[in-house]
Amino acid sequence: MNEMNECYKMQKCMACSVGVCVVPGMGAGMGRVGTMAQKSDPSAEDSLCAGVANIGLNVMAPVFVPSFPVPQNVNNCDNDEEADDTIEGEAGEASEKAKTQKGRKTKRKAHKALSNDGSPKKDHLNMVFIGHVDAGKSTIGGQLLYLTGMVDKRTLEKYEREAKEKNRESWYLSWALDTNQEERDKGKTVEVGRAYFETKNKHFTLLDAPGHRGFVPNMIGGACQADLSVLVISARKGEFETGFERGGQTREHAMLAKTAGVKHMVVLINKMDDPTVEWSESRYNECCEKLLPYLKKCGFNPKNEIYFMPCSGLTGAFLREPLDESLCSWFRGPSFLDYIDALPVWSRHVDGPFRLPVVDKYKDMGTVIFGKVESGCTRRGAQLMLMPNRKQVEVLQLWTDEEEVNQVSSGENVKIKLKGVEEEEVTAGFVLCDASAPCNVGRIFDAQVAILEHKSIICPGYSAVLHIHCAVEEISVKAIIDLMDKKTGKRARVHPRFVKQDQVALMRLECSGGLICMEPFSQFQQMGRFTLRDEGKTIAIGKVLKVVE
């Protein structure tokens, strides 16, 4: 216990330099994980994530600032009175202008932090649940909605009765997120479930990604909207091994989450109450010791980007309240909700031009789109542009989750009703932008690509499926420009005839279906990173270097 207690300390979060309580080692076994990880050598099966660090997808890009002024009437989320006061001070020397601009930014942030009723607005975090099929993701999500009061007891009892009638008693909690009848009948999440809940300090959008191998593209769509990933692991004997060691989705999901830009990961070792586990410390440590080296290779920093904890989604143990010592005496730490409530807020691109990649759309007395605001802010009545079609639209209504609001800003998961475009004219992967500062669009682009897993060689003419932010498009290799040295990052060979697994190359890629929205990775990470998939497998990851045409 003394060894465990010494593990508790304040560490600086690398992304935002804010103190956050993390516990690098949970038990005696977890205390040994760090040493074990340092001695581990990458195995052949770990090549799936070896390219993540080499390609530099974890390097912090500079804040995206346009080289031209953003018009007040498009991207200004202050009220008119504040704007007038600020504009009055813009005359004079350059120093006075700098002070005025600084004051404008301060006022914008202060104004953004207020909700419709004038009360302070809670920090918004987007959280995606990932992991192998049947690990318990939807069950934990449903339990969290119940524990935070988003699903009442009567509704839960109704789900329990209906699940019992279908001989699916243990699935009833997942029905809070799996609302589709097919998902309920098969006990398998297909689409990314979406819900929300609040803690003392934060507002969370919960994204429940499917765990089945056939629905990985949907999982990527959920991960690209997230700030925080929750990797759910089944501790049940046989299930952990199937998910992690025998070609399950645990490894691929963890690697894809990091590639998608997820900044922090909580690993929930679930089903600790199972008869094959019975809150065994040795089983918990066994799972952690096998997972940690792989997560480090994916690019997660074990000191301040990974947090392990045991739980039971079915009973709710350790999700809201600390564990009872009589049940589990070997783990002492904050509960899941306490931990995520204390997480720092990552920096947002509030002052950049407005960017919202469209996740989905539907028709309701107008065209309504879903998505996460990646940059900037907007308000009701704003004139925006839908790319790549350059369609001029007007914002009619805004919602964060189910609450109608007057304005939205970077980091929020929102719905927007638009005027000026029909629902059938919008496709997932379109980007809603400032009318005077639209995003880049292109059909041909240069990229740095790391080949992760591919049995044969890749030559010009090879085609695969590109996943970039919310867009999915077939692409082909137009040319291989250079082969890169993974150790030095310098060019090793000019115009090679082919590339193969574990190599990094500069390529020119061409989209088969026309223009897509993208940005150079150096300017805007979230719209410049991508994944390539072929035959149901993730074969490469990459970053956009230049939009050619």
Domain stop point among 341, 368, 399: 341
User: Which pLDDT value is given to residue 139?
Assistant: 87
Domain-embedded: residue 486: yes
**To which H or E segment does residue 543 belong?**
strand 537-547
Domain-embedded: residue 477: yes
Q: In the predicted model, is pLDDT for residue 70 greater than 90?
A: no
* Residue 264 and residue 143 share a domain: yes
* Residue 304 and residue 371 share a domain: no
* Residue 450 and residue 336 share a domain: no
Output 119 or 502, whichever has higher pLDDT.
Answer: 502
pLDDT tens track for 89-130: 333 333 343 444 444 343 344 344 455 555 667 889 999 999
* Residue 446 and residue 434 share a domain: no
* Residue 302 and residue 226 share a domain: yes
Write out the E strands in 339-388: 355-357, 360-363, 367-372, 377-379, 383-387
pLDDT tens track for 384-400: 999 999 999 999 999 98
CA distance 292 to 73: 49
* Residue 378 and residue 318 share a domain: no
User: Which pLDDT value is given to residue 155?
Assistant: 78
CA–CA distance from 202 to each of 49, 221, 309, 375, 411 (Å)? 32, 23, 20, 20, 13
pTM recorded for the entire structure: 0.78
Look up residue 69 and give its two tokens: 């002024």
What integer is the mean pLDDT of 58-62? Answer: 40
* Residue 132 and residue 197 share a domain: yes
Cβ proximity of 301 and 319 under 8 Å: no
What integer is the mean pLDDT of 438-458? Answer: 93
Q: In the predicted model, is pLDDT for residue 14 greater than 80?
A: no
What integer is the mean pLDDT of 124-145? Answer: 90
CA distance 126 to 426: 24
Cβ proximity of 142 and 136 under 8 Å: no
pLDDT confidence bin for 221, thresholds 50/70/90: confident
* Residue 527 and residue 451 share a domain: yes
Look up residue 235 and give its two tokens: 């501790």
Domain-embedded: residue 15: no
* Residue 278 and residue 412 share a domain: no
Domain stop point among 389, 404, 438: 438
User: Which pLDDT value is given to residue 474?
Assistant: 96
Domain stop point among 438, 470, 497: 438
Look up residue 140 and give its two tokens: 């934990």
Q: In the predicted model, is pLDDT for residue 517 greater than 90?
A: yes
CA distance 339 to 333: 9
- Burial category of 224 from C-beta neighbours within 10 Å (exposed 0-12, middle 13-18, buried 19 and up): buried
CATH number for the domain spanning 352: value is 2.40.30.10
How many structural domains compose the chain?
3
What residue type is 394 in one-letter code? Answer: E
What residue type is 133 in one-letter code? Answer: V
User: Which pLDDT value is given to residue 536?
Assistant: 86
* Residue 419 and residue 365 share a domain: yes
pLDDT tens track for 167-204: 665 665 766 665 555 555 555 566 777 889 999 999 99
CA–CA distance from 185 to each of 137, 162, 182 (Å)? 17, 11, 5
Domain-embedded: residue 210: yes
CATH number for the domain spanning 299: value is 3.40.50.300
* Residue numbers of the domain that contains 372: 347-438
User: Which pLDDT value is given to residue 151?
Assistant: 81
The residues facing 467 across adjacent strands are: 472, 531
What integer is the mean pLDDT of 46-66? Answer: 48
* Residue 369 and residue 502 share a domain: no
CA distance 205 to 313: 19
Domain-embedded: residue 38: no
Domain-embedded: residue 49: no
CA distance 419 to 368: 9
What is the crossing angle of helices 94-112 and 80-88, to 10°? 170
What integer is the mean pLDDT of 209-220? Answer: 81
CA distance 443 to 433: 19
Q: Which residues, in sequence order, are CB contacts of 483 under 8 Å at separation 6+? A: 491, 492, 493, 496, 499, 503, 504, 505
Q: In the predicted model, is pLDDT for residue 426 greater than 80?
A: yes
Write out the E strands in 28-177: 123-130
From the CA atom positions of the chain, what is the Rg in Å?
Answer: 24
Domain-embedded: residue 92: no
User: Which pLDDT value is given to residue 180?
Assistant: 56
User: Which pLDDT value is given to residue 171?
Assistant: 61
CA dihedral 145, 148, 151, 156 (to 10 degrees): 80
Most confident of 60-74, 235-249, 276-290: 276-290
CA distance 3 to 28: 7
User: Which pLDDT value is given to residue 172?
Assistant: 58
User: Which pLDDT value is given to residue 454?
Assistant: 87
Domain-embedded: residue 173: no
Q: In this predicted structure, which of 128-137, 415-424, 444-453, 487-496 has the lowest mean pLDDT?
A: 487-496
Cβ–Cβ contacts within 10 Å for residue 267, how many?
24
CA distance 130 to 267: 10
Q: In the predicted model, is pLDDT for residue 369 greater than 90?
A: yes
Look up residue 348 and give its two tokens: 């947002």
The whole-chain average pLDDT of the chain stands at 78
CA distance 190 to 211: 8
User: Which pLDDT value is given to residue 345?
Assistant: 78
Phi-psi region of 337 (alpha: psi -120 to 50; beta: other; left: phi over 0): alpha
What residue type is 103 in one-letter code? Answer: G
* Residue 288 and residue 139 share a domain: yes
